[in-house]
Amino acid sequence: MTHKLLLIDGMALLFRHFYATSVHKNFMRNTEGTPTNGTQGFVRHVYSAIRDIEPTHVAVCWDMGKATFRNDMFDGYKQNRPEPPEELMPQFDHVQHISESLGFLNIGVENYEADDVIGTLTHAFSESPDHEVYVITGDRDLLQCVSDNVFVWLIKKGFTEYSKYDRARFELEYDLQPPQLIDVKAFMGDTADGYPGVKGIGEKTAIKLIQQYGSVEEVIANISQLTAGQQKKIQQDMNNLRLSKQLATIELNVPLSVDTLFEQMAHHVELNHVLAVLDQHELFVSKRFIENL
């Protein structure tokens, strides 16, 4: 029997749907005045994905605070991001409580990002040919985890529009293997995450270098073959290049009891329970949406 495992980047969904509705000041406050717009978007998105994928197992992966091991490596990591709006703050705990109440397994590990948890689980679960792993996220970094049975769906618009990647699409688009995205990111850096890469080398040049040489290490080993301008840029930013590769690499060995988690991820739809939870927490928009799915 093929098991379909759905791994959801919880914060990606929460942020996406908070900002999609907050632009119109539609915070969907409950009777206590607490905003629920991000939470309601999260719920609707998750159940839309379950309808589309029909998973046998589901887990929602979460960041556990701002600081991770990457901040120990580089002080500036993700330090350029503004504080979340006050209407979003109470929804961080609320959405995880709702997720658990609905029967989903929440997974988060201190000192690691949700990407690392997802990467570790995809790496472990995809070793079985009987597993198909689907990842829903807004983070292109997770494309490095794509394989023959790992599929990454990047959220685009609404609850059902994705940019869907399997190995064939990734190879066609980049002419690289998915793990080589790490080397591309090492050169180009990541302004959203706040790490530098090599100044003056953008995505197109980074991709060409990795297509030709295969890795950061091989580019460095063959640096004399590069143009004078490329040599100068890389030599000036050599430390940043090596550091950026470390920062871009998703950790595949987060300390998790994978076999136990697999059992806990088993998913069974109990519609009456779902509707009761949504009713209890005044998530009426989500309730109506799911009733009509």
Q: What is the DSSP string of 194-217?
A: TB--STT--HHHHHHHHHHHSSHH
Can you tell me the mean pLDDT for 81-109?
Answer: 97
Do 149 and 131 form a contact (C-beta atoms < 8 A)?
yes
Looking at residue 65, what is its pLDDT?
85
Banded pLDDT at 170 (limits 50, 70, 90): very high
Smallest CA-to-CA distance from 242 within 69, 66, 74, 72 is with 74
175-248 under CATH 1.10.150.20, yes or no: yes
Tell me the pLDDT tens digit for each residue of 85-96: 999 999 999 999
Tell me the pLDDT tens digit for each residue of 259-286: 999 999 999 989 999 999 999 999 999 9
pLDDT surpasses 90 at 215: yes
β-bridge pairing 150-157 and 161-165: antiparallel
Banded pLDDT at 141 (limits 50, 70, 90): very high
Task: Give, in degrees to the nearest 5, the angle at Cα 287 between 282 and 290.
Answer: 160
Looking at residue 164, what is its pLDDT?
98
pLDDT surpasses 90 at 173: yes
Sign of the C-alpha dihedral computed for residues 194, 198, 204 and 208 taken in this order = negative
Task: Give, in degrees to the nearest 5, the angle at Cα 171 between 162 and 165.
Answer: 15
3-173+257-291 under CATH 3.40.50.1010, yes or no: yes
Q: Which residues touch 214 (CB under 8 Å, ≥6 apart)?
A: 180, 183
pLDDT surpasses 90 at 38: yes
Do 242 and 234 form a contact (C-beta atoms < 8 A)?
no
The domain ranges of the chain are 3-173+257-291, 175-248
The identity of residue 182, as a single letter, is I
Banded pLDDT at 176 (limits 50, 70, 90): very high
Looking at residue 269, what is its pLDDT?
86
Can you tell me the mean pLDDT for 107-123?
Answer: 98
**268's tokens:** 């069974």
